[in-house]
Amino acid sequence: MATTAKPAAKKVAVKKTAERKPNAAFMKPLTPSATLAAVIGATPVPRTEVTKKIWEYIKKHDLQDPKNRRNINADALLKPLFEKDQVSMFELTKIVSVHLK
């Protein structure tokens, strides 16, 4: 008579989820320069919102390069901000940080 052994029940590790607090530096409202304000508005906003608003603008005006979606093509408003015709999405944060006070 063969006995069927049941597989041992897996123990699931229970993670303690501590409430994550946002970094205060990211949440501090910063004033955009006139060049950046032309794209996102002149009201002081946190750095995270600046990035969101720029991406909203890029997607609304279909400015991502169709061949390489990591590149952003500058239009009339973004050209003074980028100072070139095309930038990589990885350069975007560095470029924007210069225009925030």
Domain harbouring 71, CATH code:
1.10.245.10
Question: Considering the entire predicted model, what is its pTM?
Answer: 0.72
Residue 79, in any domain of the structure: yes
Least confident of 6-10, 49-53, 55-59: 6-10
The answer to whether residue 41 sits within a structural domain is yes
Tokens 């006995």 belong to 3
Task: Give the span between the Cα atoms of 47 and 50, in whole angstroms.
Answer: 5
Percentage with pLDDT > 70 across the chain: 81
Confidence at residue 23, expressed as pLDDT on a 0 to 100 scale: 72
Judge whether 20 lies within some domain. no
What pLDDT digit, counting tens, does each position of 8-18 carry?
Answer: 666 666 666 66
Residue 9 belongs to a domain: no
A 10 A CB-CB count for 48 gives 12
Quote the domain boundaries for residue 69.
26-98
The residues, any chain, with a CB within 8 Å of residue 99's CB and separated by 6 or more, are 32, 33, 35, 36, 81
Longest distance between any two alpha carbons in the chain, whole Å: 84
How many domains does one find in the chain? Answer: 1
pLDDT in tens, 60-84: 999 999 999 999 999 999 999 999 9
Does residue 13 sit within a domain? no
Q: Is residue 21 part of a domain?
A: no
